[in-house]
Amino acid sequence: MAETLTLLIEPLPADAAVGELDATFREVDASAPALRVGELSTQRGDGIFETIGVVDGHAQESRPHLERLRNSARICELPEPNLPQWEAAIARAVAALPTTGEFALKLVLSRGVEHGPAPTAWLHVAPAADFSAVRERGIRVVTLDRGYARGTAERAPWLLLGAKTLSYAVNMAALREARRRGADDTIFVTSDGYVMEGPTSSVILRRGDVWSTPAPSGAILHGTTQMSLFEHLEASGRRTEYRDIPVADLATADAAWLVSSVRLAAGITELDGRPMPYDADETRALNDYLLTPRD
């Protein structure tokens, strides 16, 4: 079976009846050119995306990812995506994959070609990197100032802070800075010292029996993996909370994780050069749950 697949998608209006979809998908060779140079995704980072984990033939939490895609589209004033069409594209891609193993499935909705009539869209799925060692041994993390004070997103929605846009150059630069500092990943903090999120992950910490994550606001993405984990923890009788988290609270937590759709839960072993308590058992339990089929 194929290990990678690229589908170009002709995006339907949100309210279009979804009938014959096959004509709206076109499989292309990922190594062949598929996009024009006039693409606003490439000229302006002007589009949105989602990355979904596929585990043993199951796309994890497709619906929450698609709902976040719809929310990003709203913030960016892109045409509302037709979720059944995207679901069908995901199903078609997953059906082509082996039924075992982990894959990363990326959805992109671009504003389209400059002065063009319509957005462009595609899906690309490929084998996930092997994160087993990272899930087992954890990661070293540094905090980096995101430059925004708490409350900025609400005051300035044009900064698109709650949208998962393609304009990720800063996220990539922050990861390079983390590596330069001898770390594996980073957590963005507000200029006034509150925990935000990783460039491609959400932050969760545990203090005693209470699991916390930064309060949802316009400034951070609602993490699909974080939400799934909190539901699971609550169902197991654990206490969870959303709140403003000063950096000092992170540094003194009993354990902390970066969680994301493909790497899943990575325990933080070191924060800004100082060791953090690492909870191997909880980390294993979190990843065991995250590797089960989830909708």
Which residues are near a second copy by CB under 8 A? 6, 28, 30-47, 49, 76-77, 106, 108, 110, 122, 124, 144-149, 152, 155-160, 163, 165-174, 176-177, 191
Q: CA-CA distances (angstroms) from residue 231 to 146, 158, 223?
A: 28, 31, 12
Q: How many CB atoms neighbour CB 273 within 10 A?
A: 10
Query: Any idea which residue has 């206490």 for tokens?
Result: 239
Nearest distance, CB of residue 62 and a second copy, angstroms: 20
CB-wise, 179 or 239, nearer to a second copy? 179
- Cβ distance to a second copy smaller for residue 18 or 118: 118
Q: Which is nearer to a second copy, 104 or 210 (CB)?
A: 104
Tell me the CB-side half-sphere exposure of residue 204, using CA atoms within 13 A: 29
How many other β-carbons are positioned within 10 Å of the β-carbon of residue 52? Answer: 24
User: What DSSP assignment string belongs to 182-198?
Assistant: T-SEEEEE-TTSBB--B
If the CB atoms of residues 174 and 258 are measured against a second copy, the closer one turns out to be 174
> Tokens 């902390």 correspond to what residue?
256
CB of 46 to a second copy, least distance (A): 5
Residue 186 in contact with residue 177, Cβ under 8 Å? yes
Measured CA to CA in angstroms, residue 203 lies from 45, 64, 106, 156, 288 at distances of 25, 18, 21, 23, 18
Minimum separation from the CB atom of position 145 to a second copy (A): 5
d(CA 60, CA 78): 25
CB of 85 to a second copy, least distance (A): 18
| Inter-residue contact 191 to 254 (CB < 8 Å) | no
Residues 260, 279: Cα–Cα separation, whole Å? 18
- The nearer residue to a second copy, 179 or 243, going by C-beta atoms, is 179
Task: Work out how close the CB of 27 gets to a second copy at its nearest, in angstroms, rounded to a whole number.
Answer: 12
Closest distance to a second copy from the beta carbon of 280 (Å): 31
Task: Closer to a second copy by CB, 6 or 228: give it.
Answer: 6
